């Protein structure tokens, strides 16, 4: 057991830990004396750490195989279906969790990550998810993730590929099933407004999972003012006129009827143009989540911790223009594994021990610095420090 007084971790150890996590869980067969499994994993890690493509990583190193050989080797080892790849590589996200994760309950956030795509699908249009225009396109490769949003332990627990016509309830059920199979218990589930639907609320209540999400007011605002009694709102939009507090509401949509609490809270902010202080009313749908409106508002603010995981995902994602959704999912899972390695290093080596509590100091090892360490070690292994001679042309 290591001492709590002093501990250190080097760049070589970080690279070795990341490579061992991947190679132990996902076996790759080489395709020659130069394109070995160890070399392939190093090239994949280098491309992820630098945010390059596999082609750029191979051509940057003198002792690396050709990018065509590495690409063919990956296609030969990857399955043909995204679900099969998730079953093989996605459990790696939960394989090195601290023992405390299996003992207690945790606050988990689930969200969708949309990666803009400007090309055509490989086989079927159902491979792409269509949404509002972003980055000049309405077509995306969509991924659902579940992340613990507790301070210092923001592990990504599950990830899945989302088909174009897949319902939010199906995506949510798949993520919850994978966490339940690993023995992870949920205290509160924080969801985005995209999941606000009567079928989703009924599904979560049937599984006895406490949840909290914003109320999505869909449809046009009525032109005529309603004369209904403010004390008994009959529609979700009527809660915009209610004071702060908790209100019981029964929602009936088609053949689905579900009851939950609508929490009305207030938010104060400064307008970015006029710089004047303004107020905003917030509506939350809560079920078995106790607390006053201010506590509910502060609890839901933790969900934005999953946005930082998406930012770090983009930092460690391999650049590609391939049409293959399996290869794209593979690159996304690699970036999430690297992020979990970074969280695990802070929890295992770099945290301060104060009694039974550990204090995480993220300034001791930033995620970008960890990626630079990995790239530096791999470059020193697969590059022979060749000096390139150039010829200077004189201007006459």
Q: In this structure, are residues 149 and 303 in contact, taking their beta carbons and an 8 Å threshold?
A: yes
How many beta carbons lie within 10 A of that of residue 191, not counting itself? 23
Q: What is the pLDDT averaged over residues 223-231?
A: 55
Query: Does residue 105 have a pLDDT over 70?
Result: yes
Q: Tell me which long-range contacts 382-386 makes (C-beta under 8 A, separation of at least 24).
A: 382/39, 382/42, 382/43, 382/46, 382/61, 382/62, 382/63, 382/64, 383/60, 383/61, 383/62, 383/63, 384/62, 384/63, 386/62
Instruction: pLDDT band for 227, please (50, 70, 90 cuts).
Output: low
Measured CA to CA, the distance from residue 123 to residue 131 in angstroms comes to: 20
Residue with tokens 């093989």: 88
Residue with tokens 């999941």: 195
Structural domain spans, the chain: 1-77+351-386, 87-213+289-309
Measured CA to CA, the distance from residue 160 to residue 282 in angstroms comes to: 30
What is residue 281's DSSP assignment?
A: E
pLDDT at position 51, please? 93
Measured CA to CA, the distance from residue 28 to residue 168 in angstroms comes to: 33
Cα distance between the two ends of the chain: 70
Instruction: pLDDT band for 231, please (50, 70, 90 cuts).
Output: low
Query: Does residue 3 have a pLDDT over 60?
Result: no
What is residue 34's DSSP assignment?
A: S
Task: Kindly state the percentage of the chain with pLDDT values over 70.
Answer: 92
Measured CA to CA, the distance from residue 17 to residue 28 in angstroms comes to: 17
How many beta carbons lie within 10 A of that of residue 49, not counting itself? 27
pLDDT at position 1, please? 39
pLDDT winner (highest mean) among 130-134, 221-225, 234-238: 130-134
- Token readout for 273 is 């143009």
Backbone angles phi, psi at 83, to 5 degrees: -65, -35
What is residue 246's DSSP assignment?
A: E
If you compute the radius of gyration of the chain from its CA atoms, what whole number of angstroms results? 24
Q: What is the pLDDT averaged over residues 316-320?
A: 94
pLDDT at position 79, please? 93
Instruction: pLDDT band for 393, please (50, 70, 90 cuts).
Output: low
pLDDT at position 2, please? 46
Measured CA to CA, the distance from residue 126 to residue 145 in angstroms comes to: 20
Query: Does residue 327 have a pLDDT over 80?
Result: yes
Q: What is the pLDDT averaged over residues 56-70?
A: 89
Measured CA to CA, the distance from residue 355 to residue 367 in angstroms comes to: 27
- The CATH number of the domain covering residues in 87-213+289-309: 3.30.420
Span 245-300, pLDDT tens digits: 999 999 998 889 999 999 999 988 888 888 888 888 999 999 999 999 999 999 99
pLDDT at position 294, please? 94
What is residue 216's DSSP assignment?
A: P
pTM: 0.89
Question: What burial class does residue 293 get, using C-beta atoms within 10 Å of its C-beta: 0-12 exposed, 13-18 middle, 19+ buried?
Answer: middle
Span 26-48, pLDDT tens digits: 888 888 778 899 999 999 999 99
Q: Which residues contact 289 (CB under 8 A, 6 or more apart)?
A: 188, 210, 211, 212, 261, 296, 299
Handedness of CA 120, 121, 122, 124 (dihedral sign): negative
Query: Does residue 225 have a pLDDT over 60?
Result: no
pLDDT at position 249, please? 94
Q: Which residue has the higher pLDDT, 390 or 77?
A: 77
Measured CA to CA, the distance from residue 224 to residue 182 in angstroms comes to: 52
Q: What is the pLDDT averaged over residues 333-347?
A: 94
Integer CA distances (angstroms), 11 to 15, 22, 47, 373, in order: 6, 17, 17, 5
What is residue 113's three-state secondary structure?
Answer: strand
Residue with tokens 């923001």: 154
Query: Does residue 345 have a pLDDT over 50?
Result: yes
Q: Which residue has the higher pLDDT, 240 or 14?
A: 14
Measured CA to CA, the distance from residue 246 to residue 295 in angstroms comes to: 12
Q: In this structure, are residues 15 and 379 in contact, taking their beta carbons and an 8 Å threshold?
A: no
């Amino acid at each position: 057991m290591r001492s709590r007084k002093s501990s250190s971790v080097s760049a070589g150890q970080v690279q070795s830990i990341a490579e061992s996590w991947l190679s132990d869980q996902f076996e790759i067969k080489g395709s020659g004396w130069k394109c070995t499994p160890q070399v392939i994993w190093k090239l994949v890690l280098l491309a992820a750490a630098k945010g390059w493509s596999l082609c750029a990583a191979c051509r940057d190193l003198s002792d690396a195989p050709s990018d065509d050989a590495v690409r063919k080797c990956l296609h030969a080892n990857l399955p043909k279906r995204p679900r099969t790849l998730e079953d093989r590589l996605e459990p790696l996200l939960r394989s090195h969790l601290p023992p405390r994760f299996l003992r207690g309950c945790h606050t988990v956030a689930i969200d969708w990550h949309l990666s803009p795509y400007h090309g055509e699908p490989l086989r079927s249009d159902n491979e792409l998810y269509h949404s509002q225009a972003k980055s000049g396109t309405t077509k995306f490769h969509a991924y659902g993730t579940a992340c613990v949003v507790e301070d210092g332990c923001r592990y990504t627990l599950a990830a899945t590929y989302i088909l174009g016509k897949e319902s939010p309830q199906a995506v949510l059920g798949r993520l919850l099933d994978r966490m339940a199979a690993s023995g992870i218990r949920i205290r509160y589930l924080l969801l985005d407004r995209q999941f606000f639907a009567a079928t989703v609320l009924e599904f979560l209540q049937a599984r006895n999972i406490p949840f909290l999400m914003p109320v999505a007011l869909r449809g046009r605002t009525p032109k005529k003012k309603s004369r209904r009694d403010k004390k008994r709102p009959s529609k979700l939009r009527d809660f915009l006129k209610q004071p702060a507090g908790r209100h019981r509401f029964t929602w009936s949509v088609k053949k689905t009827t579900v009851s939950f609490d609508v929490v009305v809270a207030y938010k104060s902010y400064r307008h970015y143009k006029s710089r004047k202080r303004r107020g905003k009313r917030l509506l939350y749908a809560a079920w078995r989540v106790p607390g006053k409106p201010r506590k509910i508002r502060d609890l839901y603010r933790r969900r934005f911790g999953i946005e930082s995981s998406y930012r770090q995902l983009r930092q460690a994602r391999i650049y590609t223009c391939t049409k293959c959704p399996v290869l794209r999912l593979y690159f996304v899972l690699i970036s999430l594994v690297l992020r979990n390695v970074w969280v695990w290093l802070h929890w295992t080596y770099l945290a301060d021990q104060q009694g039974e509590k550990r204090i995480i100091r993220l300034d001791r090892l930033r995620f970008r610095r960890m990626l630079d360490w990995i790239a530096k070690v791999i470059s020193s292994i697969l590059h022979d420090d060749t000096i390139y001679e150039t010829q200077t042309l004189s201007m006459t």
